[in-house]
Amino acid sequence: MDFVAGEIILIDKPLDWTSFDVVNKLKFKLKYQYGKIKIGHAGTLDPRASGLLIVCTGKKTKEIEGIQNQNKVYTGSFYLGAETESYDTEKPAINFQSIEHITEQEIHKTAESFLGEQQQFPPIHSAVKIDGVRAYELARIGLNPEIKSKVIQIYQFKITKIELPYIYFYIECSKGTYIRSIANDFGKRLNNVAYLASLRREKIGNFSIEEAYTVDSFIQKLDAIQ
């Protein structure tokens, strides 16, 4: 593996790690063994999400933008009948509502309503920049920044299992799609509330989680080729 010339490394990001945690861990290890190497990731995963994170080194960092522009596949679950400020489990659940009247037919019909092109508002607790400042940084100090909507595309949205209050899904979508926002909007379209209970990124373009290393297994590989 030639990390200076450039490598594309597929990592299975652990839950509660930031994407930068992974990059910094690998950067420290590569720097120790090979010297200073350019390194970056192709598409952020939230701390409360796991799954495919693509890390590029050396000259392959020039391919980051192209990788980021590819479609993504996610699996996970929504919690129906409560919401959170962050739209996921990073913040505590609030505003509990009854879901006894919601049918499985309504749930499937709601998923179908997301297919195609649409406008989406990213969460306030997100890395979207507002006048050069990350939205989550403004939210942390109590501000409520105005976030503009963006055009996204949902190619597939399948409900794979319903075990209320949990709804399990498979989504294929365009770049820049926030699954947390889909969770929040899903509740609204059911005249209820919902948040993202779990999320795993399975694919980015033709890159699959099935080919990914865990952080530990990749470090072990580096040790073996030292």
Is 4's pLDDT higher than 60?
Answer: yes
Average pLDDT of the segment spanning 38-52: 93
pLDDT of 106-149, one tens digit each?
999 999 999 999 999 877 666 666 666 666 665 665 666 667 78
Active-site amino acid positions = 46
Cα separation, 22 vs 53, in Å, equals 9
Secondary element (H or E) of residue 73: strand 72-80
> In DSSP terms, which residues pair with 171 in a beta bridge?
74, 157
Query: Is there a single domain that holds both residue 17 and residue 31?
Result: yes
What is the domain count for the chain? 2
Share of residues in the chain with pLDDT > 70 (%): 89
> In DSSP terms, which residues pair with 39 in a beta bridge?
57
Q: What is the pLDDT of residue 136?
A: 61
pLDDT of 171-194, one tens digit each?
999 998 999 999 999 999 999 999
What is the bridge-based pairing of β-strands 133-134 and 150-163? unpaired
Is 105's pLDDT higher than 80?
Answer: yes
CATH number where 33 lies:
3.30.2350.10
Is 42's pLDDT higher than 60?
Answer: yes
Cα separation, 161 vs 182, in Å, equals 17
Q: What is the band of 222 on the pLDDT scale with cuts at 50, 70, 90?
A: confident
Secondary element (H or E) of residue 109: helix 104-112
Task: Please report whether residue 1 resides in a domain.
Answer: no
Q: What is the band of 89 on the pLDDT scale with cuts at 50, 70, 90?
A: very high
Q: What is the band of 40 on the pLDDT scale with cuts at 50, 70, 90?
A: very high
Q: How large is the greatest C-alpha to C-alpha distance in the chain, in angstroms?
A: 61
Question: Cis ω on the peptide bond leading into residue 123 (within 30° of 0)?
Answer: no
**CB atoms near residue 146 (< 10 Å):** 8
Share of residues in the chain with pLDDT > 90 (%): 73
| Structural domain for 52, as ranges | 8-69+206-224
Query: Is there a single domain that holds both residue 144 and residue 104?
Result: yes
